[in-house]
Amino acid sequence: MASDRLTARGLVLGGVAAAMDLVLPRPCPGCGGPGPWCCSCDSTLAGRPRRVRMPELVACRGGSARLTLPPVWALSRYTDPVRSAILAGKERERRDVPAHLGVALGRGIARLQAMQVLPEACWLVPAPSRRAAARSRGGDPVTAMARAAARHLAAGGRAAGVAPCLVTAGSARDSVGLDAAQRAANLGDRVRWRSSGAPPEGAVVLVLDDVLTTGATTTAACRALRREGLVVGGVLVLAAVPPWVTTR
């Protein structure tokens, strides 16, 4: 019954947001200027993806067993205007924003493929979220980004599919306010496999997320995928809190 109420609320909010867009176009969440995501703010996501230095807690512990993570890349630091855009799509009912940010992820994937660090065909796995959170928001922003990234790649002649095969168990808490150790403990083995969203057998997958902070979600997602025998080619996020591997 509670889940039905959350779903209904998400649908109503989504309808209201769509109606508002028709009557009063939304400003850019990055700078407040005209357009849902202006060219100037979008340019902050146009550089080459940078390797992220994963936090020591994750790199050393990685949960119950040591895990060697695949390469992790980010398009920007977690600062404005990207930070404001991510929060707008996640917490402020801006359901138009994730698709624009997903195009930036698509560009980043194409660049990594051109650099030959990713295969020409890969399946995009959205980082897991709690079902209740997705319902209350009227959908999962990261999944919306992944689908927009796949469309962008397909428009450029690059094969890509979306595999929403990971979910976070309801017993996991919201990660807001948790430190690195608490986030790792909170997720633990609570990232679960969902066979209905699985990629084809033998596919190389790329994990996508909006923000990398402590690396707990990235680690849990990679562990869950590898348990199913999948090859994880890497992780790409819009923005990262940890520093780059190099400054060059």
- Determine the Cα–Cα distance for residues 84 and 44; give it in Å rounded to an integer: 13
The neighbouring-strand residues paired with 212 are 240
Alpha helices in 178-233 (DSSP H): 180-187, 216-227
Secondary structure (3-state) at 200: coil
Q: DSSP E strands: which ranges in 4-159?
A: 50-51, 72-77, 122-126
Q: Are strands 72-77 and 231-240 parallel, antiparallel or unpaired?
A: parallel
pLDDT of the residue at 132: 53
> Which pLDDT score, from 0 to 100, does residue 186 have?
55
Q: How many CB atoms lie within 10 A of CB 110?
A: 19
Segments in the chain below pLDDT 50: 1-8, 10-11, 59-64, 172-173, 178
How far is the CA of 124 from the CAs of 66, 67, 72, 189, 234, in angstroms? 24, 21, 14, 21, 10
- Position 58 scores a pLDDT of 58
> pTM value?
0.82
Spatial separation of the C-alpha atoms in residues 68 and 156, rounded to whole Å: 32
* Largest Cα–Cα separation, the chain: 53
Q: How far apart are CA 150 and CA 148, in angstroms?
A: 5
Instruction: Look at residue 67 in the predicted model and tell me its pLDDT.
Output: 74
Contact (CB, 8 A) for 163 and 207: no
Residue corresponding to tokens 């404005």: 80
Q: Do 236 and 74 form a contact (C-beta atoms < 8 A)?
A: yes
pLDDT tens-digit profile of 23-81?
567 899 999 999 899 999 999 999 999 999 998 755 444 444 567 899 999 999 999 99
- What was the pLDDT predicted at 204? 96
pLDDT given for residue 129 in this prediction: 80
- The answer to whether the CB of 132 falls within 8 A of the CB of 6 is yes
**Per-residue pLDDT at 184:** 52
Q: Quick check: helix, strand or coil at residue 235? A: strand
The dihedral sign for the CA sequence 66, 163, 89, 43:
positive
Residues 6+ apart with CB under 8 A from 178: 186
**CB contact at 8 A, 183 and 214:** yes
